[in-house]
Amino acid sequence: MATETRVADNKMIPIYIMGKQYLVPPALTIMKAMEYAGYKLIRGVGCRGGFCGACGTAYRIQGDPKLYFGLACQTVVQPGMYLAQLPFFPARRETYDISQLEPTATTLFSLYPEVLRCLGCGACTKACPQEIDVRDYMAAAMRGDLAKLADTSFDCIMCGLCAARCPAEEAQYNIAILARRLYGRYLAPRSEHLERRLEEIETGKFTVDLEELKGLGEEELKVRYKARDIEPK
Amino acid sequence: MSGYPPEMQESIRSVEATRARRVGETFPAMSMEQREKILSGFHPDYREETFHAVRVGVSKGQRMPVELARVVEARPHVGADFDLSAPVAETDVLVIGGGGGGASAALLAQESGARVILVTKLRFGDANTVMAQGGIQAADRPEDSPSIHYLDVIGGGHFTNVPDLVEALVTDAPCVIKWLEDLGMMFDKEPDGTMMEEHGGGTSRKRMHSARDYSGAEIMRTLRDEVRNREEHIAVVEFSPAVELVLDDQGRIAGAVVVNLETGVYGYIKAKAVVLATGGGGRLHYQDFPTTNHYGATADGVVLAYRVGAPLGYLESMQYHPTGAAFPEQILGLLVTEKVRGLGAQPVNKRGEQFVYPLEPRDVEAAALIRECSERGNGVVTLTGQPGVWLDSPMIDMIHGPGTIQRALPAMVRQFARFDIDIAQEPILVYPTLHYQNGGVRLKADASTDIPGLFIAGEVSGGVHGHNRLMGNSLLEITVFGRRAGRTAAHYAGQVMLAAPNLAHVAAWNREMEAAGIDTDVISPILLPDYVHRE
């Protein structure tokens, strides 16, 4: 099967899934190792490519006091790994009407007053599998700096590991998406060329051209296609 | 430290040796005749023995990959005697699928006055949308127009696209960009507000809008957040995929049977209209290819719509993305976004030579990579036997200035850094990977189908892209047709008076299967691929 990782050497390693030992090939990701061990995954699996945030995983290595975090689909197993998935973590999310908000610190603090409770401990940053400096963007949130919060949180995949570790009980990723939406709608510079194009479409500027193209046979379409001028890079 | 083994590093030295010269040289694009020749010689769609003409249903004779035919010519989860007398829920519009198409449809259906339930197989947002990196096309610059976009789309699709659908796609495109921005999506822009737009394969104008290389993720999380803001009117039910559509006595849609993936309990959701937005089928691994697709991409929508009699089309063509990761093994087949080539990186062979224009339409580009590795033997072969060619990413910073890669491709940088590969310094090994279902259920420009009450949006549909989709037109398709489907479905639901629901089509299907002599153990939709290792 195409997705089963081919193993260069056969030496198996022990890992512990929720405390139970399994022997798995050493080159597998945590996700594939769980499937190798016999799990049919329903929770804790989504895109399998590092984008959806479904497979947040916490693990320890035998003999090492540190707690590690990663995405199961992107992290390779190590001998003596003790792991548990956190596919869902309850987090507070405020509902709002984006069209009725003002892009200000007051909006942020009124919807998420707990922003101001952040202790700056950095447990969130340590847990982020995207290596985002969550503490830093929470500092921007406390200053009401929506632009910086939007920019520095941009690569967030909303896996929730930050919220799981937060002693101040913040839901950092929900705070961050509010800031990004406020920035995208209200603070980002307007695209005048887009507005002009919308007016042109509204007034039917392209209707005749498109009607003509739709009526063309394959041969004439091919002629026009070949004759297109290509905008230089 | 380089994540590449010494054998591969040797080939990288050859790539480095030719890099400075290549920055100023581009391999010429193919003529139409050359394109046809390389496709018939090397594209997987032309391997006749891997296809099967389906033996039952309204599109009998439609060719499709054998792996897809296996789930189409299969048995339903529930029998015709399944009890529909006590629905678990009732609504105006039932949206099946929690990706970008389903979310767009849910929003527009709700705005058009409908009560909405959205059911999805995994979590809301676990879909191919979230994985799309490169961008979304829209002709919104003065140098460009919807007509030019139209020609690019239809030429890329080998002139087989349905004209009305292409018109809808290119005309709605700028409106969709505006809609997304009003919802708070953060597009890449110049300080004066001008959209930063690049080429994609087969485009004649720069019209690829992006949000770094998290374009699909940004669209998905914005739409999902908006749906959640409307929880009073849109109920989202996760881990509950649909397994059968339900009709009424007059052959109109009357909802769907869904299954709770965790408990295995089936239930009937009664609905006046259904929007099917279930995506494609990459996880069926046609011809044993790896895939860029998410875990739930098992062609459910094609199966469901076909069993109630909706015609299929274009399923004889699948899209293989030219640049899937070929190394390391752990991320085999995952997407290396076309934006990497859009920004100037060239595909080169083991000797560091160019062999193809970097931005041919995807099917042509993929065929050229396969030829380079097979017939010409110029690929790099990894220790596990996987062939590939180099995608020379360090060129990007040489062309656009240091730091461009980190700024424009953070997801790619992060993905490879996890395996000790710095794509700003070293090239990426790539090989084609199963990416997209060009065909599917036939639709009209208002997103309706031949079945009253059934509307569709996105990869599950067929006709928009003809036989080959261009980059940046799928994020566009899901939003354009998602919105259209939501709106049309809501209006339809406002008018229809349903008769008694039934599953008579299931009995008819089973009889037709028997008459065709098809004896199978497969129950479909299969819902998830089976990756469990067995001794």
What chain B residue is nearest to A33 in terms of C-alpha separation?
Answer: B533
The sign of the torsion formed by the CA atoms of A168, B219, B430, A9 equals: positive
- Alpha-carbon distance B348 to B429, whole Å? 10
Biggest distance spanned by C-alpha atoms of chain B: 72
Q: What is the pLDDT of residue A11?
A: 85
For A108-136, what is each residue's pLDDT tens digit?
Answer: 999 999 999 999 999 999 999 999 999 99
Domain ranges of chain B: 6-46+322-434
Indicate yes or no: CB of A54 within 8 angstroms of CB of B222.
Answer: no
Q: Which residues of B does the annotation mark as catalytic?
A: 321, 341
Contact A32, B531 (CB under 8 A): yes
Nearest to A158 among B199, B221, B385 (CB): B221
Contact A85, A54 (CB under 8 A): no
The sign of the torsion formed by the CA atoms of B88, B89, B95, B99 equals: negative
Can you name the residues that pair with B429 across neighbouring β-strands?
B390
Q: How far is CA B115 from CA A35, B109, B238, B490, B491, in A?
A: 39, 8, 17, 8, 12
Specify the pairing of strand B387-391 against strand B380-381: antiparallel
Indicate yes or no: CB of B186 within 8 angstroms of CB of A47.
Answer: no
Nearest CA-CA partner of A85 in A53, A114, A62, A108: A53
Q: Domain B6-46+322-434 carries which CATH code?
A: 3.90.700.10
Q: What is the pLDDT of residue B1?
A: 66
* Residue whose structure tokens are 């950095």: A122
- Alpha-carbon distance A128 to A85, whole Å? 14
Q: What is the pLDDT of residue A160?
A: 95
Indicate yes or no: CB of A221 within 8 angstroms of CB of B151.
Answer: yes
Nearest CA-CA partner of B110 in B491, B428, B368, B473: B491
Q: What angle do CA A200, A206, A208 make, to 5 degrees?
A: 140
Can you name the residues that pair with B380 across neighbouring β-strands?
B388
Q: How far is CA B61 from CA A97, B56, B69, B160, B316, in A?
A: 50, 8, 11, 18, 11
Q: How far is CA B132 from CA A11, B1, B294, in A?
A: 36, 29, 11
Nearest to B183 among A181, A190, A225 (CB): A181
DSSP B297: -
pLDDT under 50: residue ranges of chain B: none
- Alpha-carbon distance A207 to A200, whole Å? 10
Helix (H) or strand (E) holding B180, with range, is helix B163-182
- Alpha-carbon distance B275 to B454, whole Å? 6
Indicate yes or no: CB of A184 within 8 angstroms of CB of B414.
Answer: no
In chain B, what residues touch A193 (CB-CB under 8 Å)? Answer: 140-142, 194-195
- Alpha-carbon distance A87 to B221, whole Å? 17
Supply A157's token pair: 């995949």
For B299-317, what is each residue's pLDDT tens digit?
Answer: 999 999 999 999 999 999 9
What chain B residue is nearest to A157 in terms of C-alpha separation?
Answer: B217
Helix (H) or strand (E) holding B434, with range, is strand B428-437
CB pairs under 8 A between A and B: 249
Q: Which residues contact B383 (CB under 8 A, 6 or more apart)?
A: A8, B5, B7
The sign of the torsion formed by the CA atoms of B175, B104, B306, B440 equals: positive
Edge-to-edge strand list for the sheet holding B136-137:
B136-137, B208-209, B197-198
- Alpha-carbon distance A162 to B144, whole Å? 43
Contact B98, B127 (CB under 8 A): yes
Q: Is B467 helix (H, G, I), strand (E, B) or coil?
A: coil
Give B502→chain A minimum CA distance, Å: 30
What chain B residue is nearest to A30 in terms of C-alpha separation?
Answer: B330
Q: What is the pLDDT of residue B535?
A: 75
pLDDT tens digits, chain A, 233 residues: what are they? 344 444 445 689 999 999 999 999 988 999 999 999 999 999 999 999 999 999 999 999 999 999 999 999 999 999 999 999 888 889 999 999 999 999 999 999 999 999 999 999 999 999 999 999 999 999 999 999 999 999 999 999 999 999 999 999 999 999 999 999 999 999 999 999 999 999 999 999 999 999 999 999 999 999 999 999 999 98
Q: Where are the beta strands (DSSP E) in B249-337?
A: 253-259, 266-276, 312-313, 318-325
The residue of B31, B140, B227, B420 whose CB has the most chain A CBs within 10 angstroms, and thus the best one to mutate to test that interface, is B140
Nearest CA-CA partner of B146 in B163, B176, B175, B171: B171
Q: What is the pLDDT of residue A6?
A: 47
Q: Which residues contact B26 (CB under 8 A, 6 or more apart)?
A: B346, B354, B357, B358
What chain B residue is nearest to A47 in terms of C-alpha separation?
Answer: B294
DSSP A105: H
DSSP string, B82-140: ---SS-SEEEEEEEE--SHHHHHHHHHHHHTT--EEEE-SSSTT-SHHHH--S-EE---
> Taking phi first (over 0 means left), then psi (-120 to 50 degrees means alpha), and beta for anything else, what does residue B243 get?
alpha
Q: Where are the beta strands (DSSP E) in B135-265?
A: 136-137, 197-198, 208-209, 234-237, 242-248, 253-259
Q: What are phi and psi of A22, to 5 degrees?
A: -135, 150
Contact A44, A55 (CB under 8 A): yes
